[in-house]
Amino acid sequence: MNLRDLRYIVAVAEERHFGRAAERCNVSQPTLSGQVRKLEDYLGVTLFERTNRSVVTTPLGETIARHARLALEQAELIEGVARARQDPMTGRLRLGVIPTISPYLMPLVLRRLIGAYPGLTPVLSEEVTERLLERLANHEIDAALLATTPEAPELASLPLFEEPFWVAYPRDHPLAELDEITEADLAAVDLLLLTDGHCLRDQVLQVCTPAGGGNGSTTSALGDLRASSLETLLNMVAAGFGCTLVPALAVRGPWMTDMGIVARPVALASAARPVALWYRRSFPQPRMIEAVADVMMAGLPNTVRPLRQTPEA
């Protein structure tokens, strides 16, 4: 058994298809299938149940695939430790980012990051918070940019910034008549939300729940309208189905001028969310995480409030 065999196991377990796994590993399907079969014979267990239409990982196969991921990561870390001896900012950094931050912050950060550390190769994944935490725990990514505070003692974080919420509504919406928008105003309007699984949905509901504990409106008068992305949500706002809260980074998007939507700050101190870079305490290159955090701080727009000193300071 060698690292190549472990890569094959992980690829098949994740792709659930021998053809796609072979393509991912840059080998022919017969080569990969034959090697996996040899490994099963060597171990004396069945890792995958095969049919003409699908590949299903057995419970024991799932356990072995998880250990294979850890072994592959440790092998990569051995190489990384050797490279770090020469330059701590070389190699891959697998970074996860939630969808309500990634399209607005990462374009500001990636070019700056590559320019500052040309030996670093960022690998970006965009997924919801729960999935990113799973991938962190499984050693599939090295760090995650999150807007929540997970209860995970095995993780550490570097606070980055606090991101206020702005209310977005069509230009002819009644909110346009108000001098400032308060919690009571938000509780009285049709509020469009993201689907379950997005941390932004829960954060918006927390902001818009009246202090007295009443139930503010959280749906459009046309029905329970929810979107799986912030872009879809804003298109629904532009079409007149209601209003929503958007994180401040998204205010820089083209929809501000192209879609007939108005965005304004909310007169409520709690209408904000903290954003931090989370990573495993066991990650062997914390200096890399700190350097990436510094680059992110240097690229922040003035619509957010820094929670740590920028490199210039």
Classify burial at 136, counting beta carbons within 10 Å of its beta carbon; exposed 0-12, middle 13-18, buried 19 or more.
Answer: buried
Mean pLDDT over all residues of the chain?
83
Annotate 70-83 with DSSP letters as a single string: HHHHHHHHHHHHHH
Map tokens 């991912």 to a residue. 24
Close Cβ partners of 22 (under 8 Å, ≥ 6 residues apart): 11, 28, 29, 31, 32, 33
| CA–CA dist 255, 204 (Å, integer) | 20
Domain count, the chain: 3
Q: Are residues 172 and 264 in the same domain?
A: yes
User: Is the pLDDT assigned to residue 246 strictly greater than 60?
Assistant: yes
Q: Contact at 8 Å (CB) between 143 and 289?
A: yes
In a domain, 8, yes or no: yes
For the chain, state the CA radius of gyration.
23
pLDDT tens for 275-286 read: 999 999 988 788
Structure token digits, residue 107: 């374009």
Q: Are residues 196 and 281 in the same domain?
A: no
User: Is the pLDDT assigned to residue 223 strictly greater than 50?
Assistant: no
For residue 295, give Cα distances in angstroms to 94, 248, 310.
16, 19, 8
Using 50, 70 and 90 to split pLDDT, how confident is the model at 183?
confident
Confidence at residue 160, expressed as pLDDT on a 0 to 100 scale: 96
Residues of the chain with pLDDT > 70: what percent? 86
Better pLDDT: 207 or 84: 207
Q: Distance between alpha carbon 141 and the CA centroid of its chain, in Å?
A: 11
User: Is the pLDDT assigned to residue 214 strictly greater than 80?
Assistant: no
Q: Are residues 142 and 282 in the same domain?
A: yes
pLDDT tens for 76-123 read: 777 766 665 666 677 889 999 999 899 989 998 999 999 999 988 999
Q: Give the structural domain span for 261.
A: 163-271
CATH number at residue 209: 3.40.190.10
